[in-house]
Structure 1
Amino acid sequence: MNVETVKHAFDHVWNGQDELSVLTFSLNGETFAIEAINVQEILDLLPETRVPGAKPFVAGVINFRGRVIPIADLRRAFGMEATEATIDSRIVVVELTLDGEPCLVGIRTDKVHEVTTLPRSAGEPPPIVGMRWRPDFIHCLVRRGSDFVIIPNLEVIFSTQPARAAA
């Protein structure tokens, strides 16, 4: 991954805007954010049906308004350990464009926090070295107080998972 690719991902998420409206949530103590426009619904945990032979990242499906959608555990994509669900755990249903097609996906979270705006001026591309996660999995990091909010690149995460699973 080169500097231009990282800068392109950063510019893409802001799309020329000075602020980004996001939904923030926690995974293993880290704060993540997804563009609010992509969020369809926030659900309490639902019964999941395991898919035989599926990889841990997307190992099951849920029934969402009569549609079967995959349920993803971003912890696995980021190499975090799985944790048990708590009373605060939620599923965030998002609409993504994968391979040119709209796709609904449920993402397990430890806790959903708020819908807020993040200023572009506080954002920066992820460093190419020194990250514990793949830089292409992150659109940008946004400083908020003394912490960072991580905006994941869901399209890259979901498009690379099948290739990684086949390896």
Structure 2
Amino acid sequence: MSEENNYFEKQYVVFRLGKETYGLDIESVREIITMQNITEVPRTLEYIEGVINLRGRVIPVYNIRRKFGLPEEEITRASRIVVVEVEGNTIGMIVDGVSEVLRISSEMVERPSEIVCDVDTEYLAGVAKLDDKLVILLDIDKVLSKDEHPVLENIS
């Protein structure tokens, strides 16, 4: 078996949060939309910004910065809501901007290290080393914890 056959490629949607570059497996991303009016929901988790109406469906929107314990920043024209599917739940995540879709080979991915980024490593699938940058790969299933599922069902 040749060396090449030991590796596989995945596609990742690449986005920014502050100074860091993140990637989400494209298979979990449903769509990327511009910012919309978000309706606040009282007495919910502090990192749930509220809900949006997406073509007749009520979708909870995460402030992913709060979820990761990152400092708040202003919403800009580049800000987007990345709509993802997580274990049967559809949620939106506010990001600072979406830049591209990349093919990343498994040979470019290393286990996450707490030294590399500001995000808790429990949410990470790894870190991809590209020529000009590092891309922190999120494990979307871990971003949404098991205790959040009942909360999301009550919101949507």
Counterpart pick for 1:157 among 138, 143, 146: 143
Q: What residue in structure 2 maps to residue 31 of structure 1?
A: 21
- Report Cα offsets for 1:96-148 as digits up to 9, x if no partner: 11xxxx11111111111111201111101112x54643221111100112421
SS of the aligned residue for 1:59 comes to strand
Describe the superposition over 1:45-84 as per-residue Cα deviations: whole angstroms up to 9, x where unpaired.
1110101112331131111110101101211122101111
- Greater helix share, structure number: 1
TM-score, length of structure 2 as denominator length: 0.83
Alignment-derived partner of residue 113 in structure 1:
99
Q: Give the superposed CA RMSD.
A: 2.2
Residue 88 of structure 1 is matched in structure 2 by 78
Tell me, which stretches of 5 or more residues in structure 1 are unaligned?
1-15, 163-167
TM-score of the superposed pair, with normalisation by structure 1: 0.78
Paired residues, number: 144
Q: Which residue of 2 aligns with 1:43?
A: 33
Specify every segment of 5 or more residues in structure 2 that has no aligned partner in the other structure, as ranges: 1-5, 149-156
The correspondence for 1:67, drawn from 34, 54, 57, is 57
> How far apart in 1 are the matches of 2:147 and 2:11?
27
Task: Name 1:5's counterpart in structure 2.
Answer: none
Which residue identity lines up with residue 125 of structure 2 in the other structure?
H
**Residue 49 of structure 1 aligns to a residue in which SS?**
coil
